[in-house]
Amino acid sequence: MRSGRPLTLRGVAALLTGLLCAIAANMFAAPILLYVAVLLFALVILAAIVVRVPRRSGAVTRRISTDLLTVGEESQVAVRFDLRALRVPFGTWQDTLPDAVAGDAEGEFPTDNGTHIRYSIIGVHRGVWSVGPLSLRTTDPFGLAQRVQEFGDSRTVTVVPEVVPLAPMSGDVGAAGGTAHTASSRLGQGSDNLSPRKYVSGDSMRRIHWRATAHRGDLMVRQEEEEASPDAIVILDRAARRWESLEASADAAFEAAVTACASVALHLVQEGYSVDVRDSAGTMLGALRGQEDDRDSLLVALAMVRPQGESREIVALLDGTPPGPLVVITGNLDEADAAEMRHGGAGAPILLIAAPQPGAAAAAALRGWSTAELDDDVSSTWDDALAGHVAPGGGHVPR
């Protein structure tokens, strides 16, 4: 609890007026001006005593209507202010809000509902922020002196990234959903029913299907369908060199990437996949298995994620088993780095690039990725990626 300036602008003006009257009374031998000066001084002193002498204490409890506040979402804050004082003061209240949360958190005190205060807030920037303490500003009846007191502690509010609705995946991968699709297409360990496909840069030479190569005249590799996984993996590349700024909420491209990460991960869960969300260093950000708690845990983790560190090879993050859909979200990507990106035989490798350099998308496409440039419209970016949808083994599905 701390106090602000003891006098209002009106009070300061009254003191200056009294001082000028006292000087003028001495210069012009006008006693009436001296009486006016004394009256003004007495009023200011009395106003300060009336405002500051009464002892006040209080307790503040806050309740926010949503546990997690989404960027752009409105939530209601209910504040119970139990003020203990000799009399109910008149003034204004203001709840302290961070810049990352917008709202009209001020009003007249006492309120229409007594000690119950309500106001709305809207999430602006993701993160974990503090709301409070509550300030009470009271003045005397003449408005000369003021007293500002803070009551209660602050409470944290978690602003999580927005989740954007996305179009369903089409083509061979995703048509039936993750687990259902895998159950119908996996052949079982040791089956001879293999479907050869064309060799893609990055495939192991040990998987070359020599009989099919001799028959078709093109280099072919074995595609063991039993190696497909019902899982999907979403990787958020937060290596520092990919992004312009490391400051919280300063890089609009990184904010779009976080929104895309949350939206894609939750969308794939709805399509029936078990989804692992990792960063480019291999740190697990969330494991979605269809539970509400899994969703909340991922969103909280993404609320606090920042660009940092270096990245590892994508293949090293797959635990040796190619996933179904593999979605990688990255920032500044040049042609050389794109040419080195391998998807490890993922069923549907999709690459969303926030700042692609010339030739980067084409180089990634040669590696079997379906690419799209990521901007603020995440839904449109996802549609662009699906327009070049990738079938198992890296071949593009015609649309």
Domain boundaries, the chain: 9-52, 57-160, 178-186+229-387, 191-227
According to the model, what pLDDT value does residue 204 have?
A: 67
Query: Which residues, 6 or more positions from 66, have their beta carbon under 8 angstroms from its beta carbon?
Result: 73, 75
CA distance 343 to 396: 14
According to the model, what pLDDT value does residue 223 have?
A: 65
According to the model, what pLDDT value does residue 345 have?
A: 87
Class of domain 178-186+229-387: alpha beta
- Strands 106-109 and 91-95, bridge-based pairing: antiparallel
Give the pLDDT band of residue 233 (cuts 50, 70, 90): very high
Q: When comparing pLDDT for 198 and 311, which is higher?
A: 311
Q: When comparing pLDDT for 392 and 294, which is higher?
A: 294
Strand order through the sheet with 231-236: 284-288, 274-279, 231-236, 325-333, 348-356, 370-373
- In this predicted structure, the answer to whether residue 264 has a pLDDT above a threshold of 80 is yes
CA distance 117 to 111: 7
- Per-residue pLDDT of 356-383, as tens digits, reads 999 999 999 999 999 999 999 999 999 9
Residue 390 · residue 370 · CB < 8 Å: yes
Whole-model pTM: value is 0.76
According to the model, what pLDDT value does residue 392 have?
A: 37
According to the model, what pLDDT value does residue 250 have?
A: 67
According to the model, what pLDDT value does residue 235 have?
A: 96
> What are residue 242's DSSP bridge partners?
none
Query: Which residues, 6 or more positions from 381, have their beta carbon under 8 angstroms from its beta carbon?
Result: 260, 352, 372, 373, 374, 375
When pLDDT is averaged across residues 8-23 and rounded to a whole number, the result is 94
CA distance 142 to 14: 11
> CATH fold of 57-160, please?
Immunoglobulin-like (2.60.40)
CA distance 383 to 84: 59
- Strands 68-70 and 155-160, bridge-based pairing: parallel
According to the model, what pLDDT value does residue 182 have?
A: 42
